[in-house]
Every structure is written in structure tokens, then in C-alpha cells.
Structure 1
């Protein structure tokens, strides 16, 4: 990570670009705490690290003491999975690797591989244990970055008198003032399909043009089939916290996503692969339609 001395701090972590804007400069000790927090999350949950907790479980199964964030994230995954009829599944890591999105970023497709449909019986996250009854790769990409944005914001906010923006390349949380965010067109990054003003909330986005490779392959897989999503190209979700927004942005790629958003009180926009734009009834985004 690199840090400047002003109120805009840019760095790379967990394979993506971050930018943190604060009304006043952050003390060096708080920046160091943020670095440590992100690294600890990465050591627990990154399937791209040989030394991570999830990589260790993938090699041999078994159980480890429950790491921070496990209950919050996996409880949400259970609701995501139920709402999307199994399309979202935290054991999709091996399916992603099989399509080429592996720890070495080989991007060589070895064919579709469904994730285990019985993941709730294979994966345990209660009683102080995180365990797998058989080896499998946990992937928290459906909501993990949003969860980390929330934790970084919570680490920073007490030290700042005024506005804070934590932006992790599409997953953004704002406190203390408004931030106008352009909704990037998934097929032309020079264009926006609208603008959304975010105040004391989080806006998360996902799109099939990000982390895309080969012949139509990308990171949004239907866990039931191991096939990439073909009907939705981009999603945006606005919620009180980034983990919820991130989770709904993932769910919106599948049937059941809008219904889950309604139950959770999340506003949303999505674009289909044929260019149509859909939005929730109470959405206040300014859409260029």
C-alpha cells in the first residue's frame, strides 16, 4: 500500500484499487490499523493466497476457530442462496477456478463444474467453529468486499470530523455528506447510464465486464451449473451498509434478487445483456433512459 499526506488516500489491496477520502488527514496509526485490518481479512478469506484460512480448509477440510466476519457473511449467504434457489453459494470457489479464475490467474477454461448444492450441510459456522466436512474452496466474493468496506469505514469514522468515503472499486460507503456516483455503462466505461447520490449509505456495483476472459467467461457464475450469467450485465444496489448492498448486487443477477432486495429494504438498478434498464419502484437514481 502507498499513502499520501492529504485527505485522499489511494492504495491497492485484495487485488483491487481503493480510495479513501476524509475531511481531515488520517493519523499514521489509523492508516496502519486499516492496513492490518485488510491484511487479516485477506489471510482469512482469500482463495488466492496459499497461506489463507480458506485455502487451508480447501486442502483437507476439517475445522478451525471461527474467524471474525464468518457468522455475518455466512448467515447472509444462507439467505442469498435460499432467495436465488441455490444460484449463489459460498462453495463456488472450485467452480470459478475450473473456469479459469484460479489463484494463478491462468484464465484457462477447464469446463463447467457446479458447486455443491448441499453446502449448508457441508459447511459449519456455529459453536465457535468454521468447518468443512470435505475439502472445498470457500469464496465470499458475493459480499466479502462489501463487508470489508464496512469494517474499514468503522475503523476510520471515529477519527474524522466530517465526510468519509471508502471506495473499493465499485463498492462504496459514505458517511457525513453526499457523494454523487456515476453508474458506469458495462459495455463502455466512458459512459454512464445514470447518477446516484449516496448519503450515509453504501452503493455497490457488479458487472460482467469486470474480471472477464476467454469466450464470454466472467466471474459471475450460477453455482448450480458452473455457467456464467448470460441475461444480466450489470447491477447496482443502495443499502445502509456495504455488505448488504454487495449481497443484493450479486443476487440481482438471478431470479429472486429483486424479491430479496425488497425484503431487505434495498434500492437497486440493473441492466440486462440486451440493453434494458430495470430499477426498484422507489429508486431515486437519476437514470439516463
Structure 2
């Protein structure tokens, strides 16, 4: 087993990244990673005027990004599992609460995401189509998907051992990591540690991307209101997109059932500080 010995740090898609490899990544490898990140961002960012998402918010059709089917098919299952709480057209609801392209943090009130989103957004035959006025947001699983893509890109340069960490979404190959589960109300504390070999660990918490009076990025798409029952989730799964998606679903009823269906293990903390975990979770919790 190789042990990553070199680190490369950079900022992208609004979060800090760290890639640990067995030897330093050369300019070719770094350029390849940069191209993957930029391509993904130009496709899916609702904060960029030149993105496919922004173009489609005006209505029409575009060539589907390579990730479209994998991610949007997963949203169909997320929607069903959470009774509509997770929805890829939650972008306008987030913008109305202040998490908009200008980062205004000006709360203009709650609005629900369209429950009939599958009528307003279609993907097939390499095309992505949307009705005017809807805004795609793939925050429930998009960063995890990008982590998977970046790991696949760096492995050939790192003799099969690497760790990719994008602000709480982590994928490991060929080594072992002990990951602290950060307390959502005290970032200097951990509620436990999870030892991760092959696979991914993704976390989500209401103290990240938070603003205003109790506003944060985890909205219930049915109401446009921030979730109040859970404060943080942690998920281990074979890949980061799955872990990221389940970490979002666990803020709602139906999340544990989806995790079981997708082979993911999890821990979540309620806003009252109590902790729940899946039956086969191997996290070491400090209870």
C-alpha cells in the first residue's frame, strides 16, 4: 500500500481542495485536473454567466454535459426517497433566500421548487432541455461527482494511491485515512473518527454556507425553508457522488432507507445534539 506523501492545495468551485499523492503532481497532471474542474464548473455552476445552467435558465436546449444522465437520474431517486424534499430545480429557491449568483445574502422569502420538475427539465439523446425560469442546482451531489472525476484523473500519476478532499467530500484510493467528524456547532471539536480505506466520505452541515437569521444551503425543496431537524450528516460509500447524495438525503425522512438501498453507511446529528447512525456504521463516536 502506497502512502500519499505530496500535497497540492488550490481553491475551486467555492471550496478549498487538497490532493495527496505518492509523488508531486507535475504540470501535466495539474493542468488535466484544472481542465476537469473548469469543464464541470462551466457546465453546472449557477454562479457563472457563461454556464450551461445559466443559459438553460432562460429556456431552451443545450448539449448535455457528460455527467447529466448520471446525476439527474440520481435526482429522480433522491426525489422519490425524500418525498420531493430534494429537487434539482431548487436553484431559484436558494437564490430567493440570498444564496444567489451575486452572493447577496438578501433574503427575499421562501419559494418552493417546482414539484413537477421532470416536466420542466429533460435529458436524453445527448441533449438537456429546460423551461424558461427554472434554475438547476446540483449541490446535493455535484461536488461528490467532481471529486470522483478528479480522483480518476490523478491516479495514473500517483501509482494508484491518492486522496482527494474537496471541503468535506473525500475520496480515497490505495491508502487509509482517519477522518474526524467535525462538530457542527464547534469546529474545534469532533464527535468521532471514521477510518476510511477504499471509498468516499462526504459530510454536510448547516454551519457551512450559512448566513442571515438561521439561513443555510440545505433547503427543503417543497417549502424553500432551511431544514431544522438535523444539523450535520456524514456518509461512507464506494464513490463520492453516492456519499454526497445520501448525505443530503439524510436531512429528510427517507434518507436512511435510501442509504441502505445504495450500500452507504452514515452518522447524523440532530439539532438538539443527539446522534444517530446506521446499523453497520464503523465510525468511532465520542458519545
Match of residue 62, structure 2, among 64, 68, 75:
64
1-structure distance, mates of 2:159, 2:87:
39
State the match for 1:18 in structure 2. 17
Q: Provide Cα deviations, 1:210-264, integer angstroms capped at 9, x if missing partner.
A: 0011110000000000000000000000000000000000000000000000000
Match of residue 104, structure 1, among 102, 105, 125:
102
State the match for 1:3 in structure 2. none
How many residue pairs align between the two structures?
283
Match of residue 164, structure 1, among 147, 153, 162:
162
TM-score, normalisation: structure 1: 0.97
2-structure distance, mates of 1:219, 1:74:
19
State the match for 1:201 in structure 2. 199
1-structure distance, mates of 2:22, 2:143:
23
Deviation at 1:266, TM superposition (A): 0.2
Q: Provide Cα deviations, 1:176-213, integer angstroms capped at 9, x if missing partner.
A: 01000000000000000000011110000000000011
Deviation at 1:134, TM superposition (A): 3.2
State the match for 1:48 in structure 2. 47
SS in 2 for 1:125: strand
Deviation at 1:162, TM superposition (A): 4.8
1-structure distance, mates of 2:152, 2:26:
15
1-structure distance, mates of 2:280, 2:132:
44
Q: Aligned runs of 1:248-267 on 2, under 5 Å?
A: 248-267=246-265
State the match for 2:186 in structure 1. 188
TM-score, normalisation: structure 2: 0.97
2-structure distance, mates of 1:37, 1:74:
19
Deviation at 1:172, TM superposition (A): 0.3
The RMSD of aligned alpha carbons is 0.8
Shift >2 Å, 4+ stretches: none
2-structure distance, mates of 1:57, 1:120:
15
Deviation at 1:161, TM superposition (A): 1.6
Aligned: 1:33 with 2:35: no
Moved more, 181-190 or 160-169: 160-169
State the match for 2:243 in structure 1. 245
Structure 2: tracts of 5 or more residues without a match: none
Deviation at 1:80, TM superposition (A): 0.3
State the match for 2:126 in structure 1. 128
2-structure distance, mates of 1:237, 1:49:
29
1-structure distance, mates of 2:89, 2:175:
38
Does the CA contact (< 8 Å) of 1:179 and 1:198 recur in 2? yes
2-structure distance, mates of 1:111, 1:135:
17
